[in-house]
Amino acid sequence: MFVHQVYFWLKNPESKEDQAQLLKGIQSLSAIEPKISFHVGVPAETDRPVIDRSYSFSELIIFDDLAGHDSYQVHPLHSQFVKENKHLWEKVVIYDATDA
């Protein structure tokens, strides 16, 4: 299994237009196959010192393996997403994980 976690920080986090555009863009990535699972989220209303709630959106994709992830990275929809939305984010952090 290969887990791909992406966290986005908007340049203008208060902009409803930027929020809507980035959300729509992230959601468009769900059309890319193969994948096991796809989730888009926002920070939960939890409050503990170890929780980072500073991001705007998160994306979680689970693939069968590294090959699935690699095909996702070069997919035309992924390239289009980056091209059309990169001006919206200030920062992106990615965590990739495989089975221990």
Q: What is the pLDDT of residue 36?
A: 97
Output the pTM of the full model.
0.95
Q: How far is CA 35 from the centre of its chain?
A: 14
Q: What is the pLDDT of residue 59?
A: 98
Ranges of residues in the chain with a pLDDT under 50 are none
Q: What is the pLDDT of residue 82?
A: 98
CATH of domain 2-44+63-98: 3.30.70.100
Residues 61-86 as b or e (16 or more Cβ within 10 Å = b): bbbeeeebbeebeeeeeeeebeeebe
Q: What is the pLDDT of residue 8?
A: 98
